[in-house]
Chains A and B, each alone.
Chain A
Amino acid sequence: MHPVTLYVNGEKHELVVEPLRSLLETLRDDLGLTGTKEGCGTGYCGACTVLVGGDPVNACLYLSVDADRKAITTIEGLADENGALHPVQRAFVENTALQCGFCTPGMILSAAAFIADDPEPSESGVRAALAGNLCRCTGYQSIVRAVLDAAKHMRDAGRAGERPGRRALIRARA
């Protein structure tokens, strides 16, 4: 067992974990943050995507011990302090970019991290950025449209380049 300190959506958690415990198990089973989904459990489907230090990772492969002293953003940390959805979340709703919804949290976090790096993405850029997130219901047309919409919305709102989870961090410091 090994002690770790995780900063999840701006909240500090001190835990003791097994060395091989995945970040996914820690988030869902120890912290009750069940918005992060387990799909394949082997790093292929991307349903468990969370952000570590702003970068998307597969939480099923990522070890909890490697998340020690790092900032983690899950789908629960994207909306702002008043509960207003993140622009990517809103665009997914407006474009009906989901059917069963199981892939959606990972899809949204990958998209939000991508838009932060590339505020004016091309369609092919969006497809490449989401290559590691599989959807088995809807196909990808509406998802790609939602990500392009969200990027445009963020540019129009002067939020281009904003790191996802930034608002949660500001909230935590306040």
Chain B
Amino acid sequence: MQYFEPNFLDEALVLLDRFAGGARVLAGATRLGPQLRDGADGVETLLNVKRVPELRDVHFDGVSLRIGALVTARELAEDALVRTHAPLVALAAATVGARQLRCVATIGGNICSGDPAADLSTALLACDAVCCIASIRHGSVETPIDRIFKPNVSGLPSGELLVAVRIPAGGACAAYQKMTTRRGFEMALVAVAASLSFEAGHVRRARIALAGAAPTVLRAAGAEAALAGRQLTRASADAAARVAADADAQPLDDHRASARYRRHLVATLTRRALLAAGAPERGAAA
């Protein structure tokens, strides 16, 4: 197996292009490392991108927050810019694994894992995040994050590197609700990320994203539409939560939880997330 540590973004892209489908990008290696050591098929070349400086930046330009793909969950949970401009991402990051994992696991790895219960991916969906992707063939392009996730697919197409995510500023009315069985250090059975914006006491725009409720992380589009234009009350939150559970979620049965229990969790956690996200606005109105 060939191994490279490119120092510059262009160098990484040239290597990715040259080795195409046989190359894999290493970030925190918490997921890919064990897979490779168990003998993942067809991987001939490893690109450890830790030296590429662009991948570590967190930068706010007044309009959006740009987070480099190698920023770790711990940095996301603690970074002042992230907590101010993308608080939902900071909230979700604080629930990733245990501290040992948060110190190493990266936002780019979380997205590229394709895991249907990935906390950061779920929060980013509810933030309308955009993935900044670079390749030799297509240059730099921006792709809405909901187009990245496909069932049973991990990573990006061959030759492409996830450089950063860009998140529109705002999202102060946000909440992350996660169900686990031991209250620490666990993948979500189900998690719900909610981000709301209000206009004249009504929900202008709702973003609701679900983890563990389908073969991929998922936007609950039906529930978002059910809430848009309405006041946020217990009744409207409950109605939206039922749409999320009955129409949007496509939960799987597996050894961790039954589909029926997951559907129940989607309803409960969506209701809680909406009410928690709306609490500042509802408090102001009261």
**Which residues of A pack against B, CB within 8 Å?**
2, 19-20, 22, 42-43, 46, 49, 52, 55-58, 61-63, 65-66, 110, 114, 127-129, 131-133
- Minimum Cβ distance to chain A for residue B49 (Å): 11
B98 at interface, CB cutoff 8 A: yes
Q: Sort A-B residue pairs by CB-CB distance and give the 8 closest, nearest first.
A: A132-B98, A131-B184, A19-B3, A131-B185, A55-B103, A58-B100, A132-B100, A56-B100
Residue among B1, B98, B101, B103 making CB contact with A19, cutoff 8 Å: B1
Contacts of A56 in B (CB 8 A): 99-100, 103
Tell me, in angstroms, the Cα distance from A38 to B204 when the chains sit together.
52
Known A2-B5, A43-B97; further 16 A-B contacts with Cβ < 8 A:
A2-B3, A19-B48, A20-B37, A22-B33, A49-B100, A52-B103, A55-B103, A56-B103, A61-B34, A61-B104, A63-B29, A66-B50, A129-B99, A132-B98, A132-B184, A133-B98
Contacts of A49 in B (CB 8 A): 100
Contacts of B5 in A (CB 8 A): 2, 65
Tell me, in angstroms, the Cα distance from A61 to B103 when the chains sit together.
12
A-side binding surface: helix, strand, loop or mixed?
mixed
Cβ–Cβ contact B98 & A46, under 8 A: yes
B36 at interface, CB cutoff 8 A: yes
Contacts of A46 in B (CB 8 A): 98, 100
Cβ–Cβ contact B100 & A20, under 8 A: no
Contacts of A65 in B (CB 8 A): 3, 5, 48
Residue among A57, A61, A127 making CB contact with B33, cutoff 8 Å: A61
Cβ–Cβ contact A55 & B74, under 8 A: yes
Contacts of A132 in B (CB 8 A): 97-101, 184-185
